[in-house]
Structure 1
Amino acid sequence: MKNKAVVLGANYYIGLSVIRCLGIYDIPVVAVDYSKQGTYGFHSKYCSERLIAPHYKKDSEGYLNFLIDYAKKQDKPPVLFPCADPYIEFVDKYLSTLRQYYLITQTEQGLYTKVMNKDTLNDLALQHGVLVPETVEIGDENFKEKVEELIKFPCLVKPTDSPAFVSTFRQKLFKVYSMEELESAIKKSTDANLHVIVQRIIPGFDDHMHTFDAYLNQNAKVTHWTTCQKFRQFPINFGASVYTGQKYFPDLYEISAKFLEDIGFKGFAEIEFKKDASTGDFYLIEINVRTTNLNSLLFKVGLNMPFFAYSELTGDPVESYAIKENTNLVFWYAYEDILAVREYIKTGQLKMSQVLKSYFKPKAYAIWDWKDPIPAFAFLGQLLCKIFKKIK
């Protein structure tokens, strides 16, 4: 009997992609969420079990006990796949306990949090010689002078705890154009008990955003990797990938692999960089320490990251390899890309002819899959219900 794979989060396409990546190998996949509403991942034919658990934040102790009780009933320890940042934070908080019952790629408690937190990530990057955008702390001496001389306007007000910030404001950051706007953004954040930093905007359009996507084994060595280039994001300019292509950038491997190995990282990681349009330097923006939005693209180019993790943790590791060529494949999240395109055109950043030309590439879809179509119809149903409610 195979170890089960327990996937935390089925209400977004990241969880759905993990379910599919494992299910195609007849691995028993257990999808866990706190509600049936909106969990279109539950509709995948690759789900062997669908479980409703207590809310990970509202009842974290109940959620922990739920996971422990489930694991205790299994013949073999399940492999745990947290598929959103709040689940990562939960797993990191209870890592020593969960590892008694589950197989988990990360072994160092606190490392996930250290890498997700913008303050500690910046410190780690600088210690290891990786460029990060110039940053000023809110409590710094001569704060205003530093912002005006070092950062300059417009600039970014970014949270150190991204999941909490997004949960509060439904956006990843504030872009401000004056000292008055900066002070207002800082007040909003502090009133919500959220710590923020002020950062320089690296020049360049959204296609200057690049990613290094890798799996690191239990010896903290990069075994599988590729690089990608973003074309469009949503929200535009400072959002998540909605149209991104696999493209080989050897420089990113040289910067990223050594850094991840040096900090002892294990499991899947995606480093986001922005290439400075003026200097050509790559600046580290953030690291995703869970399966990425681009997982369906990685799978299609030959890198099934969830399966690599499952295989290694259950004693049958997959041979190392990397994608060192341009495949011309793109990831497409159609729903949000349509919203993004409207904003790009409205703000004059793209022309419709450029957008239409970009679509003539082979695609890896965020939700749609010919072999597993029902989740896409479930998602479409949810979308139509939202539209109907707004019209009503």
Structure 2
Amino acid sequence: MGSDINVYGMARAFYERYGVKSTAYASVQFAPTKYSKIVDVETFPGFNEDPGFIENMTKIAKRYKNLNKKAILIACGDGYVELVSKHKSFLQKTFVVPYIDYTLVQKLISKEAFYKIADQYQLPHPATKIITKADYQNGVANIEVPYDFPVALKPSDAVEWLEIKFAGRKKAFRIKSRAEFDDIVAKIYDNGYTADLILQDFIPGDDSNMRTLNCYVDQHHQVKLMCLGHPLLEDPTPADIGNYVAILPEYNQKVYQQIQHFLEAIHYTGYCNFDMKYDRRDKTFKLFEINLRQGRSSFFVTLNGYNLAQYPVEDYITGTLKDKPTVYGNQDPKRHQLWLGVPVKVFKTYAQNNADKKRALELLAAKRFGTTVFFKQDFNLKRYALQKYAFYLYNGRFKSYFKENKGDM
């Protein structure tokens, strides 16, 4: 479900492991999946919401009804996760649907609700205050900001946020003053957003303090894969802030055990992805959110030897996953590969100079790195030119936005 870089990464994983071509269904087609030999994309207007989604999936299901092979549904965006889980009882009559029920999705997909559950399981997260539309209507000047500036501000409802447009809109905001806070909150609600906002104590430090964890939990609610990534650089473009563009593999058994306990306790199923940041003030990793899908940059997992496609196949098709032990990724530094989502030059110019960058440069020098979209077995001139151009555009993005959105952190 979808057509972005996440979709291409999963299609590539299936192709590398099983030699099969994937079919993607989406409302529009994005550049990462264009001109590809490993994934076919079919688009349907309005497919990213009901009734367009279920109407088209009802027709699509008929194609697969009499096939001898099982087809696995993989949702590659928050909205698609919500739609697939909402219609799970219908979809699983035809497809393998490795997702939790809609009731649990509703508890986890909202950042606000996730923090409440995190508190129940002693999972650390940034100090948080919830702002409602009613708070704004009572006067933005009356909203208390209990943390020192800068502060972090982001929407609780990521799906609704996709539909909100205004000058200065960002995926998340780092706000430096009270005047800026009042202005941004007003713009958000005046332009149609209705859900809550999350105001948080800003955890100091550059992008290299982030971590991203991808997991797979089997149908028996046992964690089978955990692979931790250490982002060194994020996209500074307003609409894409928080999207990782350089990731080192990392091993941390304490983090693995903490998250494994949580996932098994709530009876999770399927892929998930956690974003967290190291807080040097109390030496803990603070969780930002759980994504109920593999991460956008999750191909770094497959790149490092843990093919994401094989887990649902072994779970639901061959039935061999149940008896396998949990894989705690990245224990052997000799196997580490650097994942990049930008040109090498951009990484070298903008990533913070530290020991982690030094390690990344060593991997680059040793040719131990890779990307999601540049795949030798899917080469043609049209595709290569498009992906090369998409990478080239990052030069301008970083030049325009890095200092404003990522400087002085």
Normalised TM-score (structure 2):
0.80
Are 2:291 and 1:288 equivalent residues in the alignment? yes
2:125 and 2:394 map into 1 onto residues whose CA distance is: 39
1:32 aligned counterpart, secondary structure: strand
Tell me which residue corresponds to 1:368: 374
2:201 and 2:13 map into 1 onto residues whose CA distance is: 38
Shift of 1:317: 3.2
1:325 corresponds, among 332, 337, 345, to: 332
Tell me which residue corresponds to 1:109: 102
Classify 1:158/1:181 alpha carbon distance in 2 versus 1 (closer, same or farther; 3 Å). Answer: same
Classify 1:340/1:119 alpha carbon distance in 2 versus 1 (closer, same or farther; 3 Å). Answer: farther
1:112 and 1:364 map into 2 onto residues whose CA distance is: 33
Shift of 1:238: 5.0
Within 5 Å, give how 1:1-392 maps onto structure 2.
Answer: 8-10=1-3, 12-24=4-16, 25-36=18-29, 38-47=30-39, 49-57=40-48, 60-74=50-64, 75-76=66-67, 77-138=70-131, 147-148=144-145, 150-169=146-165, 171-191=170-190, 192-194=192-194, 195-235=196-236, 238-318=241-321, 319-320=324-325, 321-323=327-329, 324-326=331-333, 327-334=335-342, 344=350, 357=361, 359-360=364-365, 362-374=368-380, 375-380=383-388
- Pick which of 375-384 and 177-186 moved more: 375-384
8 Å contact from structure 1 (residues 31, 42) kept in 2: no
Aligned pair count reads: 368
Shift of 1:106: 1.3
Shift of 1:39: 4.5
> For structure 1, which runs of at least 5 residues remain unmatched after alignment?
1-7, 388-392
1:110 aligned counterpart, secondary structure: helix
8 Å contact from structure 2 (residues 126, 203) kept in 1: yes
Classify 1:368/1:119 alpha carbon distance in 2 versus 1 (closer, same or farther; 3 Å). Answer: same
8 Å contact from structure 2 (residues 112, 130) kept in 1: no
Tell me which residue corresponds to 1:3: none
Write the deviation string for residues 33-71 of structure 1: whole angstroms up to 9, x where unpaired: 3345x4442433223x542323224x6323322222222
Shift of 1:258: 0.7
8 Å contact from structure 1 (residues 243, 333) kept in 2: yes
8 Å contact from structure 2 (residues 2, 25) kept in 1: yes
2:376 aligned counterpart, secondary structure: coil
Shift of 1:95: 2.7
Classify 1:166/1:135 alpha carbon distance in 2 versus 1 (closer, same or farther; 3 Å). Answer: same
Classify 1:350/1:249 alpha carbon distance in 2 versus 1 (closer, same or farther; 3 Å). Answer: same
Tell me which residue corresponds to 2:402: none
8 Å contact from structure 2 (residues 26, 47) kept in 1: no
1:41 and 1:235 map into 2 onto residues whose CA distance is: 23
Shift of 1:225: 1.5
2:224 aligned counterpart, secondary structure: strand
8 Å contact from structure 1 (residues 225, 303) kept in 2: no
8 Å contact from structure 2 (residues 170, 241) kept in 1: no
2:144 and 2:346 map into 1 onto residues whose CA distance is: 33
1:279 aligned counterpart, secondary structure: coil
Tell me which residue corresponds to 1:5: none
> For structure 2, which runs of at least 5 residues remain unmatched after alignment?
396-409
Identity %: 20
Normalised TM-score (structure 1):
0.83
Shift of 1:283: 0.6
8 Å contact from structure 1 (residues 296, 364) kept in 2: no
1:89 maps to amino acid = E
8 Å contact from structure 1 (residues 247, 325) kept in 2: no
Shift of 1:285: 0.9
1:338 and 1:166 map into 2 onto residues whose CA distance is: 31
1:381 and 1:275 map into 2 onto residues whose CA distance is: 34
8 Å contact from structure 1 (residues 296, 366) kept in 2: yes
1:106 aligned counterpart, secondary structure: coil
Shift of 1:261: 1.3
8 Å contact from structure 2 (residues 160, 193) kept in 1: no
Classify 1:208/1:385 alpha carbon distance in 2 versus 1 (closer, same or farther; 3 Å). Answer: closer
